[in-house]
Structure 1
Amino acid sequence: MLFAALIASASLTGGTAHAAPATPVGGEALGSRGLVAPQGVRKPPKTKATSYVVADVETGQVLAAKDAHGHYLPASTLKTLTALTLIPKLDKNRRIRPSQNACNQEGTAVGLTPKATYSVDDLFKGLMMSSGNDAAMALAEVNGGLAKTMSEMNAEARRLQAYDTVAKTPSGLDKPGQSSSAYDLALIARAGLANRDFARYISTRTANFPAPKGKTYQISNHNKLLWRYQGMIGVKNGWTSKALGSFVGAATRGGHTIVVSIMRHEGYFWEEVGKLMDWGFSVRGKAAPVGQLVDPLPEGQPAAPQQQASGGPVTQVTPARQPPLLDAAARKQTDHTKTVGSVVIGGGLLVGVVWLVYGIRRRRRGGSGA
C-alpha cells in the first residue's frame, strides 16, 4: 500500500507522531496492493497469504511482493524485533528469577516459573524457539520495564526504516495500534541475520531448558521448516485468531540467502513458503528486482520526513485505505490459550508437558500461538 506521511510511534502510552517517507520505502512499485513480480521469468507460486515479500538477503533486492507495505497484526513474528532490540543490550550470562507477572503472560509460553532461575540466554531461546510470551515479558523486565522496552523497540524499528511497524507488546500479543508489514518483517529478519546470537537462537532446533530443583527439559523450535527445508536458517512464525498465520524465514543455498515473509495466511503455510523460497532461489540474478530492502539509518541519524528510498525525486502520494484488521481485531481477541511450549522427551514431541510434569503454570486466556 501507499502509506501516510505520519504514523504513530509505539510507546506504551501512545507516544508521539514520527515522520515517515511520503513514498513507499524500497521503491514505488512496493506501494501496490496487488502482486508485483518481474517479467521474463515464471510467476511466483500462488499463496493464500494476503501479503508477502521474497527478497535476496545479500543484495537486498526484492524479487516479488504482494501488498508489501500493508499493515497487519504481526502476532509472534514481532518477537524478531524484540530479540534484535534486546540482544545487544542484555548480558546473556546474567541470571534472573522471573516475576509472577512474566510467568502469567497470556498465550504461548516456554514454561517460566518463579521457582527456577534462568540466564538471559535461556530467555532468548524461550522467546525465539518456543515463542514464549512469558520469556518476552521477562526480557522486558530485565531490560528495565515494559515502557522502556517498547520505546526502544519502536526506536529500533525507526532506525531500520521499518515505518509500518508499531510495537505495543514485546510478545506480539494483539493490542490496538500494533502493526507490521511483510516488508518490515523482511527488513527486521535481514538485520537479525547479521547478529551472531540472533542467528544462533533462530537456527537452534532443540535445547535443554531449566526447570525447578536443578532439572531441565527439552524445548523444540516451532519453525517446522528447520526440519523440512534444505538450507533453512530459521527465523520466526506467529499466529493469533485475529492476525491469522504469519511467518518470516531465511534459507541459504549455493552461498546465497533468500528471505520470505508472509502475513495473514488463513491456513497451513509451510509448503507455500517453501515454494516461494524455491522460486526466489531460481530467479535471483536472472530478473530485475521490483524493489529494495533498504539499509538501516546510520547511528544517531533521525528518520527524515521524506526519506528517499530508491533514488530519483521524492513525490507525494495518496495514502491507500487500510483494511480494518488492526484495532478492531485486537479488541475482539478472546481466544483461549492452546499451546504451552513444545517439549521433546525421548525423541517425541509433547505439547504442554510443562504444566503436567511441573505444575507450574495455571491455565490462562490468550490468543498468541507459535
Structure 2
Amino acid sequence: MKIRDFRLRTALCLRTALCLRTALCLGSALTALAVTGGAIAASSHAVPPSGSTTTTPFTTPNTDGCPQKTKPPAPIDASEVPAPGQPTPSPLPVPVPPVGGTRMGECGVVLPKGAPQLPQDISATAWMVSDLDTGEVLAAKDPHGRYRPASTIKVLLATVALRTLDLDKTVTGTQADADMDGTRVGIGPGGRYTNRQLMQALIMASGNDAAHAIAAQLGGDEAAVAKMNELAKSLYALDTRTATPSGLDGPGMSSSAYDLSVLFREAMTIPLFAELIHTEEVNFPGYPEDPKDPDDKDRPGFPIGNDNHLLYNYDGAIGGKTGYTDDARQTFVAAAQRNGRRLVVTLLKADVRPIRPWEQAARLLDYGFALPQGTEIGKLPAADTKSPKSTAALAAPPSQDTGQHAEAASEPTGSSGKTLLLVGGVAVVLVLLVGARRTSRPRR
C-alpha cells in the first residue's frame, strides 16, 4: 500500500467506518505502516487481518481428480438456498469437446511442453494466464473447473450496462440501494448520480449499491441477471451462470478461470471499461440528509479509490477486478502489459495465504511474460464468434507512463513520520469506535 493509497483508504474508512471491525482494520493498517514504513499487501476484500499467521503448512489445492467439473464446492452458508417455491438449479452441461481446445479439459496444472517450474505460494484453486490480444492460453490450473466468481462477475454486468445505458443520465439513489449487503460505495437515498459515476463505483470500488442501481435500470435484478447470462452464453462462457448482479452468492452461481478470461477480454473491447479499471481515484457525490430535500447537502462528496492493489504495485498493470464472499473466497481478474504484450490472469477460490491474491497474480503474470510469444495450450474464443454488439478490436492499452505510481512509491517515510502515523492511527481508531453506530458485514 503506497502512502498515497494509504491516504485515500483512510478517507474512505472515515466515510464508511460504522463498526468496530472497520476501526480495528484501520488501526492494524496504520500500525503496520508506521512500523514498516513500506507497503502493506492487503486485499480490500479479505476478511483475515493483514498480520494473521498460521501454523498449518500451506499446500496448493489439488484438482487432478476434477472435483469441480460440474459445480462449485459445497457452500458453507445458506446464501445459495433457493427462495421458497423456487427449484434448486441443476448443474450446467459440460461441453464436449471442451471450449478452448482439448487441453482445456484437463483439471490439474496445464503447461506447455518444456515450460519452467511454476512460481511458489499460489493458493488459488484454479487460475489461468492468457494473452489479451491473441487469445492464446499460456498456462492454467483447472481452467474449466467451476467456482463462484464473487464480485469479478461485475465485469459481466459492466459490459451489459456500458452497452445499454445512457452514461450521462442522472438517477436518484434509493434506500434499497443503500441497504445492499456487502461492499457499498456510499450511495444514499435522494443522492443524484450519473450512470458514469455509478460505473465508477461499480468497477473501481465494487459497490453492491451501485450494482443494484444499475440493475434497476436494466429491468431489475432478475432481468439484469438474464441479460448477463445471455451475453455469457453468446461468448461461449459456458461454465458461467449469474445468480445476482453484484456477485453475492446465490443459487446456481458459477464461473471458471477460463470464462473469467473470456468475460474480461470482452469487457476490454469497451474503451470506458479499460479507462475505469486503470483509474486510481475519482470524486463521488454525497447525498442529502433529508431525501425529500434534494438541496440538503449534509452528506458531502468523497473520494473513491480503485481497490485493485496490483494497479499500484505491478509494473505495467492495466487494471482488473477483485472479489470475495465466504463461499467464493478470494477471486481476481487483471491484466498487465510489457513490451507491447498484454496478458490476463484469473484466480478463483484463492486465499490470503501464503501471499495476497494480487501478489499471486503478479507472480503468474511474471511467469507468463517469461514464456515465449506464441506459446499456446488453448485458445479463447475468436473475436468473430462473439456477440453482434462486440467490437472486433480491443480497447487501446493505457499509457505505460507509470510516473504516478513511481512518485507514490518513492515518497520517503522517516522515523518521525512513522511516529505521527502511529499516533494518528490510534486517535482515528478512538474516534471511529466512539462514532460507530451500526454493524457492517464482511466485504463482498
CA distance in 2, matches of 1:203, 1:122: 15
Amino acid at match of 1:208: N
Indicate if the aligned counterparts of 1:37 and 1:44 stay in contact, CA closer than 8 A.
Answer: no
Paired residue secondary structure (1:163): coil
Distance 1:299 1:30, change over 3 A: closer
Q: Verify the 8 A CA contact 1:104 1:364 in the aligned structure 2.
A: no
- The aligned residue for residue 25 of structure 1 is 99
Match of 1:39 among 107, 113, 123: 113
Contact 1:172 1:368 in 2 (8 A): no
User: Given the superposition, is the C-alpha separation of residues 368 and 164 from structure 1 closer, same or farther in structure 2, using an over 3 Å criterion?
Assistant: farther
Q: 1:103 aligns with which of 178, 181, 185?
A: 178
Partner of 1:276: 364
Which residue does the alignment assign to 2:39?
none
- Please give the secondary structure, in 2, of the residue aligned with 1:129: helix
Q: 1:265 to 1:299 in 2, by over 3 A?
A: closer
More helix per residue: 2
Which whole-Å deviations, capped at 9, do the CAs of 1:235-291 have from their partners, x for residues lacking one? 10111122111100001111110000010112122222111101111114163x111
Shift of the 98–160 alpha-carbon distance from structure 1 to 2, 3 Å rule, reads same
Contact 2:90 2:252 in 1 (8 A): no
In structure 2, do the counterparts of structure 1 residues 248 and 300 end up closer, same or farther at CA, with 3 Å as the change threshold? closer
Alignment correspondent of 1:319: none
- Distance (whole Å) between structure 2 residues aligned to residue 56 and residue 179 of structure 1: 23
Q: CA deviation at 1:84?
A: 0.9
The superposition leaves residues 191-247 of structure 1 with CA deviations (integer Å, 9 ceiling, x where unpaired) of 111110111111111000001228321001000011100111111011112211110
Aligned counterpart, 1:317? none
Residues in 1 aligned to 2:210 and 2:349: alpha-carbon distance in whole angstroms: 24
Q: Structure 2 unaligned segments of length 5 or more: list them.
A: 1-65, 71-82, 288-296, 390-423
- Encode CA deviations 1:157-193: one digit per residue, 9 max, x unaligned: 0011101110010110011210111111110111111
State the partner residue of 1:88: 163
Corresponding position: 1:59 with 2:134: yes
1:254 corresponding residue in structure 2 = 339
Instruction: Give the aligned partner of residue 4 of structure 2.
Output: none
**Distance in structure 1 (CA, Å) of the matches to 2:156 and 2:349:** 18
Of residues 70-79 and 13-22 in structure 1, the stretch that sits farther from structure 2 once superposed is 13-22
Match of 2:55 in 1: none
Corresponding residue of 1:77: 152
Deviation digits for residues 93-117 of structure 1, max 9, x if unmatched? 1000122112110000100001310
What is the CA deviation profile of residues 126-185 of structure 1, one whole-angstrom value per residue up to 9, with x for unaligned ones?
111111000001100022211211110000100111011100101100112101111111
Call closer, same or farther: CA 1:176–1:37 in 2, change over 3 Å.
Answer: same
Deviation at 1:44, TM superposition (A): 2.7
Q: Which residue of 2 aligns with 1:126?
A: 201
CA distance in 1, matches of 2:156, 2:112: 29
Name the counterpart of 2:213: 138
Which residue of structure 2 aligns with residue 223 of structure 1? 308
**Deviation beyond 6 Å, 4+ runs, structure 1:** 12-20
Q: Kindly tell me: are residues 239 and 17 of structure 1, through their superposed partners in 2, closer, same or farther at Cα, counting changes over 3 Å? A: closer
* CA displacement at 1:52 relative to structure 2: 0.3
Against the structure 1 CA distance between its residues 17 and 273, is the aligned structure 2 distance closer, same or farther, given a 3 Å change threshold?
closer
Q: What letter corresponds to residue 270 of structure 1 in structure 2?
A: W
Tell me the amino acid that sits aligned with residue 191 of structure 2.
A
Which deviates more, 153-162 or 20-29? Answer: 20-29
Shift of 1:17: 9.4
CA distance in 2, matches of 1:20, 1:88: 29
Q: Deviations over 1:325-348 (max 9, x none)?
A: xxxxxxxxxxxxxxxxxxxxxxx9
Alpha-carbon separation, structure 2, partners of 1:29 and 1:41: 15
Do 1:63 and 1:284's aligned partners in 2 also have CA atoms closer than 8 Å? no
Tell me, yes or no, if structure 1 residue 292 matches structure 2 residue 379.
yes
Larger radius of gyration: 2
Unmatched segments (≥5 aa) in structure 1 = 5-11, 302-347
| Maintained 8 Å contact 2:235/2:386 | no
Structure-2 change in CA distance of 1:363 and 1:118 (3 Å): farther
Match of 1:173 among 248, 252, 255: 248
- Compute the displacement of 1:125 (Å): 0.6
Could you tell me the TM-score, scaled by structure 2's length?
A: 0.65
Query: Structure 1 295/220 Cα, relative in aligned 2: closer, same or farther at 3 Å?
Result: same
Change in CA separation of 1:227 and 1:94 when aligned onto 2, cut-off 3 Å: same
Pair 1:116 & 2:200 matched: no
How far apart, in 2, do the equivalents of 1:144 and 1:241 lie?
28
Q: CA RMSD in A?
A: 2.9
Amino acid at match of 1:290: I
Q: How many pairs are equivalent?
A: 310
Shift of 1:21: 2.9
In 2, the alpha carbon distance for the partners of 1:182 and 1:78 equals 12
Q: Which deviates more from structure 2 when the two are superposed, residues 266-275 or residues 114-123?
A: 266-275
